[in-house]
Structure 1
Amino acid sequence: MIYSDLLAGLQRTDAGWSIALGDDWLQGRTAFGGLQSSMCVRALRDLVPPDLPLRTLQTTFIAPVPAGTVHLRAQVLRTGGSTVHAEARIVDGDQTLCLVVAVFGRNRSSAVSVAATPVDPGEAADPKREFPYIEGVTPAFTRHFVMRWTRGGFPFQGSAEPYTRIHVRHREPQPMDETHLIALADTVPSPGLSILRKPVMASSMTWTLELFDQRTDFAAEAFWRMDTEVTAGADGYLGQSAQMWTPDGRLAALSRQSVVVFG
């Protein structure tokens, strides 16, 4: 099922929200992390005015979210003059599997304006360096995305640097909104895995995403660029930062993740 159709299946229930999750959206034994965050944001959109842009998203991945019927709860924490703080959880009974805190905010008048230097939008995404989907080998959810490397190595290839530059897009053409950007921002594998020479398990523990340019009216085949770097790592834990760039080279989002590596 394509991403848009999957999220369109989110339904309001007496206890909150529910959605049917197929095996094709798993990342190991849990739902793809970007999808978990997006499901929570989609539920929050039932509570937050649609004209308030999403500014910041903080996600904690607590326990696996298996395929099947996924249950969510959400609430507004505070409504201020310009911003709304809200919380959503993926739950299994009384257990929280994923926790999201989101901040939505109207534009403010400010004398502070710091623009990131645009990147080259003409950099080619070479199809010869496309990450292959291999049934039973690569994560199931990756079948829904196209990822092409222009710097750094594929996972478990013994790369010399903890940095990757990857051009990514949804494989199936579809109308895009903020939840599609969230998914793209979490699609690429950690550069820490590129340093390794043999497969090991890895998992994100926390993820913060700050959105700056939320335009989505680009061609369906347009690529978004992810520049990701492990800034520190020790004792099985990695800290990594990423910048997400629009197809025309503008900064779309900043990302920060804590990743645990089992090997």
Structure 2
Amino acid sequence: MTPIADILSQADLVENGFRTTVPADWMQGRTAYGGLTTALALHAAQRIEADLPPLRSAQVAFVGPLAGAVTITAQRLRRGRNATYIDTEVRSEAGLGLRATFLFMAPLPSAVTHDAMSRAERHPPEPNVKTYIGPDEFFTGNFEFHDVKVPGAAEWLRWARLRGRDGLDPTVELLAIADGLPPAAFKLFDKQVPLSSLTWHVNLLTTDLSTQDGWWLLQAATDRAVDGFSSQRMRIWNAAGAPVVDAMQSVAIFA
């Protein structure tokens, strides 16, 4: 297990960003885990602009594989009165691997309050409930999980928390966790098949990113997987059942 805080503390500063190394235990096949590289990109965005409001949205493109030494750079696209857009890139020896645009925005006074998002009627695992950790040579070894049974044919519902989360910015921690489920289309196969995330749109529904003992409830579900392309919905709730993240991801299916 390699805490993300250690990856960041070992980084070397470069112009508009930093350079660091993705450890082997954060890999998923030939590329780094997307939640980690997105979290590194967010850290670079946070460093380049002072006094940023809370993160509210991220648009991520997983352009190519990332491994070994990576360089993360950021540039401000625009800072307005209410919103700030920052563009980031993560590159390795193979070239551009990730591009993300982050939107930071403070809460605004509004005459409208509408909330139809469902609350999670689930509770995080008790200390005596059995959880599991992924293999050491795969990124899931940095997480602790507890599965929840679901009725959907192509749906995951799983409690997850980072094993090494001390010293992390809460938003960086959340983005690192947010991609922690396998693609929902995996459940349509009775054997291991290659799948790859292509794009990811993440909306943060609240500026309160607190939870109990690091536990977050992650959901991924797809209703359509055709022509090697799946679009899946993703949500995250905190331990109290409050919705925190609403997201969508496109996934390539090579089978």
User: TM-score of the superposition, structure 1-length normalised?
Assistant: 0.87
Partner of residue 54, structure 1 = 55
Relative to structure 1, is the Cα distance of residues 84 and 161 closer, same or farther in structure 2, using a 3 angstrom cutoff? same
Map 1:179-190 → 2, pairs under 5 A: 179-190=172-183
Partner of residue 111, structure 2 = 111
Partner of residue 83, structure 2 = 83
Map 1:198-217 → 2, pairs under 5 A: 198-217=191-210
Find the aligned partners of 1:196 and 1:160 in 2 and give their Cα distance: 14
Q: Which of 177, 186, 194 is residue 193 of structure 1 equivalent to? A: 186
- The answer to whether 1:32 aligns with 2:33 is yes
What is the Cα deviation at residue 213 of structure 1? 2.5
Partner of residue 141, structure 1 = 139
Relative to structure 1, is the Cα distance of residues 42 and 173 closer, same or farther in structure 2, using a 3 angstrom cutoff? closer
Residue 148 of structure 2 aligns to a residue whose secondary structure is strand
Partner of residue 235, structure 2 = 243
Find the aligned partners of 2:77 and 2:192 in 1 and give their Cα distance: 41
Instruction: Write the letter of the residue equivalent to 2:61.
Output: T
Find the aligned partners of 1:210 and 1:241 in 2 and give their Cα distance: 12
What is the Cα deviation at residue 106 of structure 1? 1.3
- The answer to whether 1:225 aligns with 2:217 is yes
User: TM-score of the superposition, structure 2-length normalised?
Assistant: 0.89
Find the aligned partners of 1:66 and 1:93 in 2 and give their Cα distance: 8
Q: Which of 239, 256, 261 is residue 248 of structure 2 equivalent to? A: 256
Partner of residue 102, structure 1 = 102
Instruction: Write the letter of the residue equivalent to 2:224.
Output: A
What is the Cα deviation at residue 250 of structure 1? 0.7
Find the aligned partners of 1:22 and 1:47 in 2 and give their Cα distance: 24
What is the Cα deviation at residue 222 of structure 1? 4.0
Relative to structure 1, is the Cα distance of residues 194 and 84 closer, same or farther in structure 2, using a 3 angstrom cutoff? same
Relative to structure 1, is the Cα distance of residues 80 and 16 closer, same or farther in structure 2, using a 3 angstrom cutoff? same
Identify unmatched segments of 5+ residues in structure 2: none
Segment drifting more, 77-86 vs 159-168: 159-168
Indicate conservation of the 8 Å contact 2:82/2:106, yes or no.
yes
Instruction: Write the letter of the residue equivalent to 1:169.
Output: R
Percent of residue pairs identical: 23
Indicate conservation of the 8 Å contact 1:178/1:214, yes or no.
no
What is the Cα deviation at residue 90 of structure 1? 0.9
What is the Cα deviation at residue 151 of structure 1? 2.0
Instruction: Write the letter of the residue equivalent to 1:232.
Output: R
Find the aligned partners of 1:246 and 1:160 in 2 and give their Cα distance: 21
Aligned-CA RMSD value: 2.3
Identify unmatched segments of 5+ residues in structure 1: 153-158
Indicate conservation of the 8 Å contact 1:34/1:187, yes or no.
yes
What is the Cα deviation at residue 160 of structure 1? 6.7
Find the aligned partners of 2:97 and 2:181 in 1 and give their Cα distance: 22
Find the aligned partners of 2:180 and 2:222 in 1 and give their Cα distance: 16
Aligned residues: 251
Find the aligned partners of 1:85 and 1:178 in 2 and give their Cα distance: 16
Find the aligned partners of 1:218 and 1:123 in 2 and give their Cα distance: 10
